[in-house]
Amino acid sequence: MSDLTKLTLKGALDGLKAKQFSSTELTEAFIGAIEKANPALNAYVLTTFDKAREMAGESDRRLKAGEARALEGAPLGIKDLFCTKGVRTTACSGILDTFVPPYESTVTQNLWDDGAVMLGKLNMDEFAMGSSNETSHWGPVTNPWKSNASNAPLTPGGSSGGSASAVAADLCLAATASDTGGSIRQPAAFTGTVGIKPTYGRASRYGMVAFASSLDQAGPITKTVEDAAIMLQSMCSHDAKDSTSLPNALPDFSSFVGKSIKGLRVGIPDEYRLDGIPGEIDALWEQGIQWLKDAGAEIVRISLPNTKYALPCYYIVAPAEASSNLARYDGMRFGHRTEAASSLTDTYELSRSEGFGAEVKRRIMIGTYVLSAGFYDAYYVKALKVRRRIAEDFVNAWNSCDVILTPATPSAAFQLGDTEKAADPVQMYLNDVFTVTTNLAGLPGMAVPAGLDSKGLPLGLQVIGKALDEGTTLAVGAVLEKAAGFTHKPSQWW
């Protein structure tokens, strides 16, 4: 029965509908796999097996009665950033370590309304601030992939490291994730999985623990492009509870998977050819270009001149918004309150200092600094102007291309406890160099596994689409997926 965990989401949904197995059988298979793997991988920070069995039972009843919904009986993992009613949600921060939401996020509600089954909550960097899952209050996640040159544990990336690790290790059919600067796409690339961040506003932010509200966007991590389309269809919706939620109707995302890209103009940005990037990344990019050419696409050289300013711009905008969003953690109404205080200011300062981890504090302080009197114009307003320049680069690019192809990450997965990256925050931030531009511009971006490096580790390519054009993004992703024929899986060492 353990083979059931190897199914894709689409394969499992088809099998359930054809009554080849029940949701209960499928759910038990995942429970068994999680119990075996989680002590080694730490992908789940909370399992909800009783709830999963209950939901699977209801799905089996519906399947039997012919009342199956879009995701009926499909066991999923939920990033611990999404509030789940009555189920502990911590955003993997010590300040929320006992928080039990009295309400459900819109994204997860959409999944339950479509019949999905919740296996548990997935590990992540604290408040989604990190690129290696090492800032989690519950400890780092281990990548199921290992280098063929060393036995050292690798990072699955971050912040959605638990989601990526769980999908890659077959500990759920698919997972929810979120992306503020690359937090879906970088972990997907590091684990040989597919990750898509839709257009900003497609998925509701209601009930998603906030990091940087103008950048945060939910999306799935899945085994295939087709699965990503299925998950996206369910996760996205217009929601009156989120004032930046888009009212635009959703296309049938799955209909784009397998669609011809003949004649499509694919932009290759000059500025993404960075110094110091491993040759294997460049070679994979060239391979990707060739695959799209072979599929009939027209390759166009484009320029996104402000690309190099995207990361520094992000590291003003995101911390500024974070410092405001995280002001709510004051130890008064919810979250950790210190036992050690004697005055009100003491209570605020000690509760926050005890509750937040080092990276979160660092970003709150950067944000506070760039928003403070005397520096607001020089840093924050300046960054907002640069952000517009970056967004305009894309608008100009769309005059000559329909979609953009880039590498997903500047390297394959690196070791947990990388001392160089730990000592220099900027080194860690550079992980998002290829992904962060789409967050600033609000565009859809998808990472697709495209090959292995010389150490046997997965590498991904990124497809960037026009606003609201997830469809073409998925179509190109599916072409890459098919051409790459990426069927590698990590060996089960756990």
- Residue closer to another protein (CB basis): 171 or 364: 364
- Residue closer to another protein (CB basis): 8 or 214: 214
Q: CB of residue 448 vs another protein: minimum separation in angstroms?
A: 23
State how far the Cα of 441 lies from the Cα of 393, in Å rounded to an integer.
Answer: 9
Closest Cα to residue 130, out of 187, 85, 59? Answer: 187
Output phi, psi for 47, to 5 deg. Answer: -105, 145
Structure-token pair, residue 78: 């939920």
State how far the Cα of 413 lies from the Cα of 326, in Å rounded to an integer.
Answer: 30
State how far the Cα of 355 lies from the Cα of 228, in Å rounded to an integer.
Answer: 35
- Residue closer to another protein (CB basis): 49 or 375: 375
CB-based burial label for 391 (10 Å; 0-12, 13-18, 19+):
middle
| Residues in contact with another protein by the rule CB under 8 A | 98-100, 102-103, 200-201, 214, 240, 243-244, 246-247, 306, 308-309, 312-313, 315-316, 323, 327, 330-337, 341, 343-345, 347-350, 352-353, 356, 361-362, 364-366, 368-369, 372, 379, 381-389, 391, 424-426, 440-442
DSSP assignment of 324-350? HHGGG-SSSSSS---SS-SSHHHHHHH
| 183 catalytically annotated | yes
- C-beta atoms surrounding 484 within 10 Å: 20
Q: CB of residue 179 vs another protein: minimum separation in angstroms?
A: 13
Structure-token pair, residue 408: 């997903």
Which residue among 136, 159, 163, 237 is the active-site one? 159
Q: Are 144 and 107 in contact (CB under 8 A)?
A: no
Which residue among 183, 204, 237, 323 is the active-site one? 183
Q: CB of residue 356 vs another protein: minimum separation in angstroms?
A: 7
- Residue closer to another protein (CB basis): 201 or 490: 201
- Residue closer to another protein (CB basis): 145 or 394: 394
Q: CB of residue 491 vs another protein: minimum separation in angstroms?
A: 38
Say which DSSP state 224 is in: S
- Residue closer to another protein (CB basis): 149 or 365: 365
Q: CB of residue 319 vs another protein: minimum separation in angstroms?
A: 9
Whole-Å CA distances, 387 to 324, 375, 376, 404, 468: 19, 17, 15, 19, 19
Q: CB of residue 361 vs another protein: minimum separation in angstroms?
A: 6
- Residue closer to another protein (CB basis): 282 or 392: 392
DSSP assignment of 268-300? EEGGG--TT--HHHHHHHHHHHHHHHHTTPEEE
Strand order in the sheet with 217-222: 44-47, 117-122, 75-79, 174-179, 217-222, 194-197, 445-452, 458-465, 403-407, 265-269, 298-302
Q: CB of residue 439 vs another protein: minimum separation in angstroms?
A: 9
Tell me the β-bridge partners of 197. 445
- Residue closer to another protein (CB basis): 95 or 232: 95
CB-based burial label for 182 (10 Å; 0-12, 13-18, 19+):
buried
Which residue among 79, 146, 197, 223 is the active-site one? 79
Q: CB of residue 325 vs another protein: minimum separation in angstroms?
A: 13
Say which DSSP state 464 is in: E
Closest Cα to residue 296, out of 485, 481, 476, 486? Answer: 476
Positions annotated as catalytic residues are: 79, 159, 183
